[in-house]
A and B are shown apart, each in its own frame.
Chain A
Amino acid sequence: MKIFGYDIPPVFSLLIWISLWEIAGQLQLAFILPPFSAVVVELFELVQRPDFQSAAYQTFESFVIGMTIAIIAGVALGFLMGSNRIANSVLGMWVNIMASAPLSSLVPVLMLLFGLGQLTIIVTVILFSTWIIALDTYAGVHHISPSLREMGRSFGASRFQLLTRVLFWAALPEILAGIRMGLIRAVKGIVIGQLLVSVVALGRLFRTFSDNFQFEEFWALTIALFIFALLFSSAIGWLEHKVEYYAATRN
């Protein structure tokens, strides 16, 4: 961010926004905007509430299940596309379409199909993240140097060994990048989905808070969700950093 031509460090600009929020809240400019300090206080209370904890746990659990399935399916799809020309021409187009489709509009349909339980969250996560994981995996497999494959074959690797001992590791940096992107999309999908659906897990809390004009609680919940997403994506970022040194050594 720039103000009068000066670069403002991100933390600083965040502080400015928070101060503006606090001032607006204290002045009671809009009733949906309570002071930031009140929201923070509420955040600490919220995380201790059993209904928050069980809703958060439910959402988290569905999220982990969905991501696991999406990673397995996405990586498998990517490898299939990367190692088989026919598979690539058949699947490639669909994966690309799905990766760029406006999936948010599908969430209400999912709700109709899968009901109002955890299943809907799981399917949302899978639907939002699988395709980008598949695309990145494909890019990773596609860029593996031919001599690395030949090396594996000439030293007697079976097809399975070639896949698990050479190709998987060679594509790992791209796979992790795909997983991080998939994760971010899945969080977006859940946030949008839960706001839209508003009946399951955290979504129900959102609904309750906004219906009852509990805006401190409402914002606290939003912040909790963002912190959760940030932590998740920085965990993957850390993993990515660990494998970066060898990604950089490839050409």
Chain B
Amino acid sequence: MSTAAVAQMPDQNASTEDNIVEVRNITKYYGEDIHALDSINLGFPTGQMTTLLGPSGCGKTTLLKIIAGLLETTEGEVLIHGKPVFGPGPERAFVFQDFALLPWATVIENVGFGLELTNKGTKPEREEKAKHYINEVGLGGFEYKYPHELSGGMRQRVGLARALAVNAEVLLMDEPFSAVDEQTRRKFQEDLLYLLANEKKSVIFVTHSIEEAVYVSDQIVLLSPRPGRIHSIIRPEISRDSTPDEIRRDKRYLDTVEEIWTNLRKYLD
């Protein structure tokens, strides 16, 4: 028996006041016959980390890109602060799986790219801000390096700093750590939790890794494939006060990982 709270009815958590993002009745078809998502209703609580977890092809990326405004829905709508949105907006920032850095631009130019596009502040102000977030993600001293001079983990830190610099309330991350090695990944998860506690962001996070999901999330949305539907929503309710190693040995943590694994394994054939 798991100690994690499980809300079986997805609708229960939709349309609450404190959801910064809500999706209503989202259905997505690619072309005529690829049914990627089927009537998804979900709320993403303000200031929390929600993870989309599920087997390959269950529509995690599709849902995240719809929330980002990068993909159009076939049906349904996305609400930010209760208002429907169409297309990307300044309250959301995306962190890409393949980093999506400009190879011809330095770290500081990449981090300041979002600010520059929207013409926020003067050039020195923008550089100041970019520098601040470069330090924040632990890349101080690398301001004038080019992406190809950095390791995968460092590149993703640039991607994260770029998303933080535009000061969006919601961070959307699509498997941000899948292209970096395991040690870097763990370090990154810890840094991310620390950063988010400081920056007061709401995060929607896509991952393949159950451990990662349980470790970083306040709320985990399990999706089932063909078409993508909400299987269940799990709130791990792990205390964030303990050290990373304590958390990874915590009974609640291990039980939640086990429970999710039991739910997901039937889709793996």
Binding site for B on A (CB under 8 A): 145, 147-148, 150-157, 161, 165-166, 169-170, 172, 243, 245-246, 248-250
User: Given A147-B96, A246-B148, A169 and B102 touching (CB < 8 A)?
Assistant: yes
Do A154 and B93 touch across chains, with their CB atoms under 8 A apart?
Answer: yes
- B165 — nearest CB in chain A belongs to which residue? A155
Shortest CB-to-CB span from A169 to chain B, Å, is 5
Binding site for A on B (CB under 8 A): 65, 68-70, 88-90, 92-94, 96-98, 100, 102-104, 113-114, 117-118, 146-148, 162, 166
The listed residue with most B CB atoms (<10 A of its CB), out of A147, A165, A172, is: A147
Do A246 and B117 touch across chains, with their CB atoms under 8 A apart?
Answer: no
Do A161 and B100 touch across chains, with their CB atoms under 8 A apart?
Answer: no
In Å, the complex CA distance between A246 and B147 comes to 9
Do A153 and B93 touch across chains, with their CB atoms under 8 A apart?
Answer: no
Q: Give every chain A residue within 8 A of B68 (Cβ-Cβ).
A: 150, 154
User: Given A150-B96, A155-B114, A246 and B70 touching (CB < 8 A)?
Assistant: no
Do A155 and B117 touch across chains, with their CB atoms under 8 A apart?
Answer: yes
In Å, the complex CA distance between A172 and B113 comes to 19
User: Given A245-B148, A246-B146, A153 and B103 touching (CB < 8 A)?
Assistant: no
Shortest CB-to-CB span from A85 to chain B, Å, is 15
Q: Give every chain A residue within 8 A of B103 (Cβ-Cβ).
A: 246, 249-250
Do A157 and B117 touch across chains, with their CB atoms under 8 A apart?
Answer: yes
Top 4 A-B residue pairs of the complex, sorted by shortest distance between their CB atoms: A246-B103, A155-B114, A151-B100, A249-B148
Shortest CB-to-CB span from B248 to chain A, Å, is 31
Do B70 and A155 touch across chains, with their CB atoms under 8 A apart?
Answer: no
Pick 28 A–B contacts, CB within 8 A, sort by A: A145-B98, A145-B100, A147-B96, A147-B97, A147-B98, A150-B68, A150-B100, A151-B100, A152-B117, A153-B70, A154-B68, A154-B70, A154-B88, A154-B92, A154-B93, A155-B94, A155-B114, A155-B117, A156-B88, A156-B89, A156-B114, A161-B117, A166-B102, A245-B146, A246-B146, A246-B148, A248-B148, A250-B103
New A-B pairs, 10, CB < 8 Å, besides A150-B96, A170-B102, A249-B103: A147-B96, A152-B117, A154-B93, A155-B117, A155-B118, A161-B117, A165-B117, A172-B104, A245-B148, A249-B147
